[in-house]
Structure formats: C-alpha cells, structure tokens
A and B are shown apart, each in its own frame.
Chain A
Amino acid sequence: MARFLLTHAVTAGAERSPDKEAVRYSGNSLSYAELESRTNSLARTLIENGVSRGDRVGIFMNKGLESAVAIYGIMKAGAAYVPLDPFAPVARVAYVIQDCGIRHLLTKEAKADQVGEILGLQSSLECLIGLPCTDQPAMRCLSWDDACAAPGQPLANNLTEQDLAYILYTSGSTGTPKGIMHTHRSGLSFAEWAAEEYGLLPTDRLSNHAPLHFDLSTFDFFAGAIAGATTIVIPEALTKFPVNLSKLIQDEKISVWYSVPFALMQLMERGVLDSRDLSALRWILFAGEVFPTKHLRELMNLLPHIRFSNLFGPTETNVCTYYHLAEPPESDDPIPIGKACANIEDLVVDVDGNPVPAGEVGELLIRGGVVMKGFWGQPEKTANGFFKRRMFNDFDDIFYRTGDLVHLDEHGYYRYLGRKDRQIKTRGYRVELDEIEVALLAYDDVEEAAVYPIPDGQGSNLIAASVIPAQGVALSEGELVEHLGKRLPPYAIPVEIEFASDFPRTSTGKINRRELQAAATQRRQSAALSE
C-alpha cells in the first residue's frame, strides 16, 4: 500500500502481520492489529468530540501502551500531536497549551492534580480524555475505555503528506518554549531513511528511552513501525536506574538502542553490564549531545559485537547527519558528526551566506524532506530560520539554518564545532564555549564538563565552568587551569571552575547549562554584594 502518512505504517503492519507485537510496556503489549483498531477508535472519538483537521491535541501523561495509541490516534484524526513533558512545571505546560491552542488533552488519572492546576492557568482546553471527571462543569471528560470503545474500522479522510503530524516544543535560546511543526512528510523522510540505513527488520526490538517530547522518540515509534518491528516503551522510572535498565535491555532482548550519551555513560558506570547478556543488541545509536570520546571508546571496547552510530541534527530537521563508528576512536578528539543523510542536501556558508571552500568553518544548512514546516505561531522566527538560494529568476531553494558551526575534515566527514549562539565575546575576544568543554574533557580525571558565560556586570561576559571529576579523584582548579593554559588562549580560560558530583539535566537528559549558568550568576552577584 502507499505510504504518505506516518499512520500508514501501522495500517500496513496490521495487514501484513496482524498478530505481531507493535509496542510493549512493562510486560504488556499491543499487536499491530490491536494498535490499528484502537487508534481508529480513538481518532473517531476525537472527531466526535470536536477535533478537526489541523487541530493540535496534547499528550500529558507518563509513558505506557497509551503513548503509541495517543500519537497514532491523534494523527489519524487529522490533528497534530503535541507531547507535553509530564514532569515539567505546570505553568510551563499551561503556557504550551495556551500557545498552541490545544483544546483536547489526552492524560491519565495519575496526573489529576497537575491537570487541575493547569485548568486554572489557561483558557484553551475544552475536553479531557483519560480523566473521567473534574469539578469543572464546562470541561468534557471521557475515560480511556470510553475513548477506545468507538468502532475500530479505518476512517476515511483526505489527509496529505503536508498535513501537520506533530509539534515538539523546545526551550529556545531565550528560554521561552517554541513549537517546531513537523508534517507527515518530514517525519516520514527521517523515519524511512533511518529504517533503511540501520537495516531495521520485523524481528528487531527497538528501545524507546526518550520521552515523547524529545525528537529521538520519533525514530523509536515511526522507523519501528515502518519496519514492522516491536518498540519497547521504557517506563520513565527505570531510565533513572542503570541496573534496572540493563536488565530490561537483556530481558526484552532489545536489538536497537537509541538514547542520549548520558544514559549510555550511566549504564557503563553503574549498570553492571558485565553481568548481563546483551547478545541480542546489534546497534547502539546516540544523539542529542556530544559523546565524550574517552567514554565512547570505553563503551565500545566493553561491547565489541555492537555497531555504534552518532546521529546529529536539530529538532527542526529531525536528523541531518550521521556517522557510523567502525572502530573505537583512537584519540580523544571529538568524533565526527559524519555526512548528510542520503535524502538531504547540505551546504556550509559563511556569515554573509556565501558557500565556504571545503574544509573551512561555516554554518550548516539543510534542505530536504526532513525539514520542519516552521515554528508554531511565529512567522517571523520561521522566516529567519530559513535561507534561500536563488535558482532561477523567480524560484528559490529553501534551506534550514541549523545554527551549528561545522567544517568538513579530510575524510569528507563533518566535524561539529559548536552552536553559533555558543560563540560569545569575552573582553573583546570571540570564544567558542564548546571548544573549552572539549579541552576540559581531554584531561584524564575530568568525567564531564560544562562551560557557560556569566555576565561580568559591565555588559560583557566572563567564562565559568563546572566539572565532574572522575570517581574518587580530587581535582584542583589550579591543575585544570594549567592544563587549559597549554591548549587555549588566556582569555578563553574560565575565571571560575566549580566542582560537582553531577549536573542538573534537562528532561531530555542533556546537561542543563542554563541552570548551571543561573546558579553561577547568582553566586557571583551575592559575592559582589557582600564585598
């Protein structure tokens, strides 16, 4: 059958192998036939309750089998699903609901308290599914059972691949969340490439480690369904315990793993991997952050039978480059982000928008089916996010500006240098904060490092760093400064290096540099006041 909607993968799976498990959670599962029928029912219920094409429907609940039912059911109703971080502060969730004009919310009873608070903080919601009753008479409420009781036959609709499929909210550089709009086409472009590149098979068992609001989850659900594979949804609670997590990988016979590097570093450090049977595992994919090379090498040496791949790309492009590691890296240099995916055109330009000669540093631009439609409700931001290349008199090619600085190495692979907006000015000098992190990580006894600017009170920036020392090692600021002095110009050396046993992380598992920065700024201000 034709496949131009993300939901077609489930329908095809139900026709091809109806009894095959599509999704598993905590020992329970839904077959492709069950997922197909249940998502048809949910879509029907949503439409009966006022959802129409192009609407945004929120998902606010802990993970479960319902996660898969929700995303496909919403898309089958012609709407875009908007996953809301179940652990975010209620004010932020309410902000997204209001900003995105979400009228229908899929949730669970365990979230009743938060939903109650959210209802008072926004004026957009009209209908709750998964919470049978509230004390708000104006709110229409249905249980999950009721929502899935509608007939399960396929729905007739006129959706096209250009219809909105999902909107992911990320914290913009200003801290205000922005909604990244993806269509069925942009989701499929990534998922079809990934299913092909990683050779996914119906026998594969994919991990779903990432939360739904993190774009890594689109691989787990969409590429998995295209292959007719089984996706193992991992409860949030277990992602916090490496010992539980490694047991789940073993018991569920996960064959393709995808997560942020941090989860893999935790597994290696505390996950008792040497006592687990990981023979089913064949691919480990990672994305979202730089994997410190020395830790990656250690992990690859520990698991020599597994292939490793680095996926790269802002949420706006799903994924745009990838790099397979044939061997554990020899030096501690950061590994490449690789080359553009097969269905993507890449271009590197200087500040004036002119292509740079091969090997020179510039901003990476991306063109192809994977690129988002735009930022929800922000036409100006959307326009600024795109770059036009004049082709003919009245026709432009449109590229997404990733904001990432890269250069091509001698092997034809991209190397990532940092975010354009992580390039700061300090005392008149231009500094790459990510370069300082790499220099810190090159020190043997540094486990992890984060570098961020703090205001100097005179309109410029000072550089500060936080460092996690290797286990059982006492590091001094002096030895790190000495080490950095051999690699960096004096103005790039942090004015303060703070030591920590761990870092605050974002809900997607990345180092929360903004929080570290806020704490350091506050420390500095109170120190200045007490002087």
Chain B
Amino acid sequence: MDRKTALIEFIKNEVMRNKNAKLDENEDLLSAGVLDSLAILQLVAFIEDRFGIKIPDEEVVFENFQSVNALTSYLENSH
C-alpha cells in the first residue's frame, strides 16, 4: 500500500472512525474540522511507526498537514 492510501485509510478508520467516510486527498483537513490536536498527534505517531519517519516538532505545522496531498509531498520531499 502506498503512503497516500495508508494515510487515507488511517484517517478514515482511526480519526473519522468511519470506513465509508468521503475523504478527498485535497480536502482541507483543518478547516473541515477532521483533524484536532489529538488526531494530529495520532497521525504523527502513525507515520513514525508505519513509515519509520521521525517528524521533528518544528515540522508539525499547518502547511504540512493541511491535506493528505500536502502531507504526502512533505514526506516525499523531506524523507
């Protein structure tokens, strides 16, 4: 499973708790209220665990987590 699919599955199953939720890869996860503080920490832990990528605190920023696409391109460019 590629990273993008894995992230979408994780957000649907663990964050939105709804396998059938609609989640567009460009959707603004923050303005739509999908991600809250707790979910962001869960997502960071998931990425570190699943992809073996350590995300420093300074890089946990809005610009990198705004959408699934923003997150995957951040992960590709920096790791």
* Interchain residue pairs A-B with the least CB separation, the first 6: A237-B30, A87-B33, A502-B38, A270-B57, A244-B62, A241-B62
What's the minimum C-beta distance from B28 to chain A, rounded to whole angstroms?
A: 8
- Residue of B35, B41, B42, B62 near A238 (CB, 8 A) is B62
A503 within 8 A of B: yes
A504 within 8 A of B: yes
- Complex: A100 Cα to B65 Cα, angstroms: 37
Contacts of A505 in B (CB 8 A): 36-38
- Residue of A86, A242, A262, A270 near B33 (CB, 8 A) is A86
Q: Please encode chain A, from 502 to 531, with 1 for each CB lying within 8 Å of some chain B CB and 0 for all others.
A: 111100000000000000000000000000
Chain B, interface residues (CB within 8 Å), range? 10 to 19
A240 touching B40 in the complex, CB below 8 Å, given contacts A62-B31, A270-B57, A272-B57: yes
B30 touches A240 (CB 8 A): yes
- Residue of A262, A270, A504 near B60 (CB, 8 A) is A270
Contacts of B28 in A (CB 8 A): 237
A236 touches B37 (CB 8 A): no
A243 touching B30 in the complex, CB below 8 Å, given contacts A505-B36, A505-B38: no
What's the minimum C-beta distance from A24 to chain B, rounded to whole angstroms?
A: 18
A243 touches B61 (CB 8 A): yes
Contacts of B38 in A (CB 8 A): 502-505
B41 touches A236 (CB 8 A): no
B66 within 8 A of A: yes
A153 within 8 A of B: no
Contacts of A504 in B (CB 8 A): 38
A110 within 8 A of B: yes
B71 within 8 A of A: no
Q: Please encode chain A, from 261 to 280, with 1 for each CB lying within 8 Å of some chain B CB and 0 for all others.
A: 01000100010100000000
B58 within 8 A of A: yes
Given A244-B62, A505-B37, 4 extra CB contacts under 8 A = A237-B28, A240-B40, A501-B45, A502-B37
B60 touches A236 (CB 8 A): no
16 contacts between A and B (CB under 8 A): A62-B31, A86-B33, A110-B31, A236-B30, A237-B66, A240-B36, A240-B62, A241-B60, A241-B61, A241-B62, A270-B57, A272-B58, A501-B41, A502-B41, A505-B36, A505-B37
What's the minimum C-beta distance from A500 to chain B, rounded to whole angstroms?
A: 9
Contacts of B35 in A (CB 8 A): 240
A237 touches B58 (CB 8 A): no
A237 touching B36 in the complex, CB below 8 Å, given contacts A62-B31, A110-B31, A272-B57: no
Contacts of B37 in A (CB 8 A): 240, 262, 266, 502, 505
What's the minimum C-beta distance from B49 to chain A, rounded to whole angstroms?
A: 12
**Number of inter-chain CB pairs below 8 Å:** 50
- Chain A 382-431 interface residues, beta-carbon cutoff 8 Å to B: none
What's the minimum C-beta distance from B40 to chain A, rounded to whole angstroms?
A: 6
Contacts of A87 in B (CB 8 A): 33
A241 touching B65 in the complex, CB below 8 Å, given contacts A270-B60, A502-B38, A502-B41: yes
Contacts of B42 in A (CB 8 A): 501-502
Contacts of A272 in B (CB 8 A): 57-58
- Chain A 241-289 interface residues, beta-carbon cutoff 8 Å to B: 241-244, 262, 266, 270, 272
Contacts of A62 in B (CB 8 A): 31
Q: Please encode chain B, from 5 to 25, with 1 for each CB lying within 8 Å of some chain A CB and 0 for all others.
A: 000000000000000000000
A244 touches B61 (CB 8 A): yes
Q: Please encode chain A, from 105 to 122, with 1 for each CB lying within 8 Å of some chain B CB and 0 for all others.
A: 000001000000000000
Contacts of B45 in A (CB 8 A): 501
Contacts of B36 in A (CB 8 A): 240, 505
- Closest A residue, CB atoms, query B28: A237
Contacts of A242 in B (CB 8 A): 57, 60
- Closest B residue, CB atoms, query A85: B33
- Closest A residue, CB atoms, query B35: A240
- Complex: A237 Cα to B58 Cα, angstroms: 16
- Complex: A505 Cα to B41 Cα, angstroms: 13
B31 touches A243 (CB 8 A): no
Contacts of B40 in A (CB 8 A): 240-241
Contacts of B57 in A (CB 8 A): 242-243, 270, 272
B41 touches A243 (CB 8 A): no
- Closest A residue, CB atoms, query B41: A502
- Closest B residue, CB atoms, query A512: B38
- Complex: A463 Cα to B23 Cα, angstroms: 39
- Complex: A296 Cα to B45 Cα, angstroms: 26
Contacts of B41 in A (CB 8 A): 501-502
A236 touches B58 (CB 8 A): no
- Closest B residue, CB atoms, query A110: B31
What's the minimum C-beta distance from B29 to chain A, rounded to whole angstroms?
A: 9
Most buried by B among A86, A87, A243: A243
A237 touching B31 in the complex, CB below 8 Å, given contacts A501-B45, A503-B38: yes
Most buried by A among B37, B38, B57: B37
Contacts of A243 in B (CB 8 A): 57-58, 60-61
Q: Please encode chain A, from 487 to 509, with 1 for each CB lying within 8 Å of some chain B CB and 0 for all others.
A: 00000000000000111110000
What's the minimum C-beta distance from A504 to chain B, rounded to whole angstroms?
A: 6
